[in-house]
C-alpha cells in the first residue's frame, strides 16, 4: 500500500506529505520574468534614469571644461527667467503646440468617424495609405517641404488659383509657425486617424442602432455617442501631441538650420537647448533649460488629465 501511494504521489507531482516539490530557482516565474526584463531595465536605468538625474545635477553647475565644473546653485535657473531668446523659443513652441492641438485633434477625429461610416468602402486600404507619411524620414519630409513652401513652390501655386498672392513661408517671421504646422498636419494626420478609428471601433454598434431607432441622425450620434465615448483615446492623442509639440526639433533644424528662422520665428525650445549645449558648450545652462522644459510638459499633461477627468474619484 505504501508503495502504491508513493507511485500515485509521484504521478500527481506531490510529495508524500501532500506538498508540491520546490521548483529550481531559475525555473520560478518571477525569476524567469526578471531575466527577460533585465536587459531592458539596465538600458533604461543607464540611458534614462541616470541621464535625467545627471542632467538635474548639471543644471546646478557651471561647466568650465572637460572634467571641470563649479557649483552655482540656482544661477542657471535665474538665467532661464531672464533669457529673452529662451522666452522667444518657449513662446514659439507653445504656439506650435496649440496650433497642432487645434488641427491634429478635431480634423483626424472627424475624418476617422467618416472613414468608419458605412459610406466608405475599403477602409483597410485607406488606413494603409494614411499611415505612409509616418514611415517617411523626418529629414526627407523637411527637405521636401522646404521646396513646397518656397516662394515659387507648389503651395503658393495652388493658392494662386484662388487669387491668393504668393507667401514667403520660410522668409517671414509670422509665417514660420504656420509653415511647421502645415508640415506636421501632413505627417501626423494619418496616424491620428488610425488612433481614433481604433477607439471608435470599440464602441458597440448596438448603441448607434438604438440611437437611430430613437431618431438620432449621424451628427447627433457623433456628438452624443462618438465624442463622449472616445474620451480615453482623445486624451491619449492629446498628450502625445503635447509631447511632440514641446519636443519640436528636427522640423525647424531642417528648414532653417540652428539659426531659428527669420527673426527667430522658427526657434523652438529644444533647438535653443541644442544651440546652448553644442554651439555655446554651456552644458549647465542647457541642462537647466531641459529641466524647466520637462516641468512645463508635466504640468500641461497633468492639466489635460484633470480636464478629462482622469483623477475623478468614481473611476
In three state form, how does the secondary structure of 128-157 look?
HHHHHHHHCCHHHHHHHHHHHCCCCCHHHH
Between CA 114 and CA 118 the distance in angstroms is 8
Between CA 180 and CA 8 the distance in angstroms is 74
Q: Are 184 and 240 in contact (CB under 8 A)?
A: no
Q: What letter would DSSP give residue 46?
A: I
Query: How many other CB atoms are there within 10 angstroms of residue 15's CB atom?
Result: 13
**pLDDT one-digit tens code per residue, 192-227:** 998 998 888 888 888 888 888 888 888 888 888 888
Q: CB under 8 Å to 35, separation ≥6 — which residues?
A: 26
The residues spanned by each domain of the chain are: 28-73, 78-307
pLDDT the model gives residue 261: 82
Copy the grid coordinates of residue 86: 529662451
For 121, counting Cβ atoms within 10 Å of its Cβ (0-12 exposed, 13-18 middle, 19+ buried), the class is exposed
* Residue located via cell numbers 537647466: 288
**pLDDT one-digit tens code per residue, 224-277:** 888 888 888 998 999 899 989 999 998 888 888 777 788 888 899 999 999 998
Copy the grid coordinates of residue 89: 523659443
pTM assigned to the model: 0.82
Q: Indicate left, alpha or beta for 69 from its phi (over 0: left) and psi (-120 to 50: alpha).
A: beta
**pLDDT one-digit tens code per residue, 21-41:** 676 766 777 778 888 889 999
For residue 124, the Cα-to-chain-centroid distance in whole angstroms is 24
* CATH dotted code for 78-307: 1.10.3720.10
pLDDT the model gives residue 1: 47
Amino acid at each position: 500500500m505504501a508503495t502504491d501511494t508513493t507511485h500515485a504521489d509521484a504521478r500527481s507531482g506531490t510529495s508524500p506529505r501532500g506538498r508540491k516539490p520546490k521548483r529550481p530557482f531559475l525555473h520560478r516565474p518571477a525569476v524567469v520574468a526578471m531575466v527577460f526584463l533585465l536587459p531592458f531595465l539596465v538600458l533604461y536605468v543607464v540611458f534614462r534614469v541616470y541621464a535625467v538625474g545627471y542632467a538635474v545635477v548639471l543644471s546646478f553647475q557651471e561647466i568650465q571644461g572637460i572634467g571641470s565644473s563649479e557649483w552655482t546653485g540656482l544661477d542657471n535657473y535665474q538665467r532661464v527667467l531672464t533669457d529673452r531668446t529662451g522666452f522667444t523659443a518657449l513662446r514659439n513652441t507653445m504656439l506650435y503646440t496649440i496650433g497642432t492641438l487645434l488641427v491634429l485633434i478635431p480634423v483626424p477625429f472627424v475624418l476617422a468617424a467618416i472613414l468608419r461610416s458605412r459610406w466608405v468602402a475599403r477602409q483597410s486600404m485607406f488606413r494603409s495609405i494614411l499611415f505612409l507619411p509616418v514611415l517617411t524620414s523626418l529629414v526627407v519630409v523637411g527637405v521636401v517641404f522646404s521646396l513646397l513652401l518656397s516662394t515659387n513652390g507648389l503651395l503658393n501655386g495652388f493658392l494662386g488659383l484662388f487669387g491668393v498672392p504668393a507667401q514667403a513661408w520660410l522668409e517671414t517671421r509670422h509665417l514660420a509657425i504656420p509653415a511647421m504646422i502645415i508640415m506636421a498636419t501632413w505627417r501626423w494626420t494619418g496616424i491620428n486617424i488610425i488612433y481614433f478609428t481604433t477607439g471608435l471601433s470599440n464602441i458597440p454598434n448596438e448603441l448607434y442602432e438604438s440611437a437611430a431607432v430613437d431618431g438620432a441622425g449621424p451628427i447627433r450620434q457623433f456628438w452624443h455617442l462618438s465624442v463622449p465615448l472616445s474620451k480615453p483615446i482623445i486624451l491619449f492623442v492629446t498628450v502625445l501631441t503635447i509631447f511632440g509639440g514641446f519636443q519640436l526639433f528636427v522640423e525647424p533644424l531642417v528648414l532653417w538650420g540652428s539659426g531659428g528662422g527669420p527673426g527667430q520665428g522658427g526657434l523652438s525650445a529644444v533647438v535653443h537647448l541644442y544651440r546652448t549645449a553644442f554651439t555655446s558648450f554651456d552644458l549647465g545652462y542647457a541642462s537647466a533649460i531641459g529641466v524647466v522644459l520637462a516641468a512645463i510638459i508635466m504640468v500641461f499633461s497633468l492639466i489635460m488629465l484633470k480636464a478629462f477627468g482622469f483623477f475623478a474619484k468614481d473611476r
